[in-house]
Amino acid sequence: MFGRGLKFLSILTVVLVIGAFALVFFYAPNDADQGFVQKIFYLHVPLAIVALAGFVAGGVYGLRYLRSGDNAHDLRSYVAIHLSLILAVGALITGSIWARASWGHWWVWDEPTLVAFLIVFLLYACYQPLRFSIEDRERQARYAAVFAVVAGAFVPVNFMAVRFAQAAVTHPRVLDSSDSMPGEMALTFLLCLAAMALLFVTLWKYELASKHASIRLRQLRRQLAGDDDALLAVPRSAAPQEL
């Protein structure tokens, strides 16, 4: 059900990721101020952007689930948020490395984008505990969808509020610096962003297909089990269990 076009997508993703890596290390020039460590930027910013997009997509699918009741949307929402959370951890870690390289500390508070990201991460980290704590399947899906929508609305408000809280933006803005970013860096960055986005979509689809297969297997098992109770036990779980 979710696996259409997966083979093509995977090959394209592999090509793009390898291409992006190659560009980062062999093509893009070293930054004049920051040197080699600036290259973390090609990993950090795509991670952050795709993670945020994934969170918002989770909210969109949550909304679609609420309106249609189609469990497929709930599964999509769950997997999107789940994957984005992993990317968000990556963004925070690479952001910390960048902070260390640029300012000498592993964390800086005058960095509004990083701080706002931490807050968003803390919020979405509650998604799975929330799902796990509600046992009724349908209610779990519905409440998770509400959470996804509220959290999705929260993301832009949060970034705005945190940005306001900083007097001056000290984020090394490779894009907005007075001498505009050289073409090679721009191209490399765009390719990295495309590769990360494609990677996310591919992994998302793989996860969906895998979960879908497990769900159908469980349904089959239940059909075949009949009165054999040992096969019927469905363990409590945060992930959607039915389609």
Query: Which of 11, 32, 36, 242 forms a contact with other proteins (CB under 8 A)?
Result: 36
- x/- mask, other proteins, residues 10-29, rule CB under 8 A, reads -------x---x--xxx---
Residue with tokens 């918002």: 56
Does 139 contact other proteins by CB under 8 A? yes
Shortest gap between Cβ of 167 and other proteins (angstroms)? 11
User: Which residues, 6+ apart, have CB-to-CB distance to 106 below 8 Å?
Assistant: 96, 99, 100
- x/- mask, other proteins, residues 163-182, rule CB under 8 A, reads -xx-----------------
Of 199, 195, 204, 205, nearest to 4 by C-alpha is 205
- Piece of 36-44, 48-56, 169-177, 182-190 that binds other proteins (CB under 8 A): 36-44
Does 145 contact other proteins by CB under 8 A? yes
Shortest gap between Cβ of 175 and other proteins (angstroms)? 19
Would you say 15 or 178 has its CB closer to other proteins?
15
User: Which residues, 6+ apart, have CB-to-CB distance to 120 below 8 Å?
Assistant: 52, 55, 88, 151, 154, 155, 158
Of 77, 76, 88, 17, nearest to 52 by C-alpha is 88
Shortest gap between Cβ of 14 and other proteins (angstroms)? 10
Query: Which of 84, 94, 113, 188 forms a contact with other proteins (CB under 8 A)?
Result: 94
Q: In angstroms, what CA-CA distances link 99 with 31, 34, 42, 75, 87?
A: 16, 12, 14, 36, 18
Does 235 contact other proteins by CB under 8 A? no
The rounded distance, in Å, linking the Cα atoms of 17 and 19 is: 5
The answer to whether residues 5 and 204 touch, using CB atoms and an 8 Å cutoff, is no
Give backbone dihedrals phi and psi of 172, rounded to 5 degrees, phi first.
-60, 100
- Note the residues at the interface with other proteins (CB under 8 A): 1, 3-4, 17, 21, 24-26, 30, 35-37, 39-40, 43, 66, 70, 72, 90, 93-94, 97, 100-101, 104, 119-120, 122-123, 125-126, 129-130, 133-136, 139, 142-143, 145-147, 149-151, 153-154, 157-158, 160-162, 164-165, 199, 203, 206, 210, 213-214, 217, 220-221, 224, 226
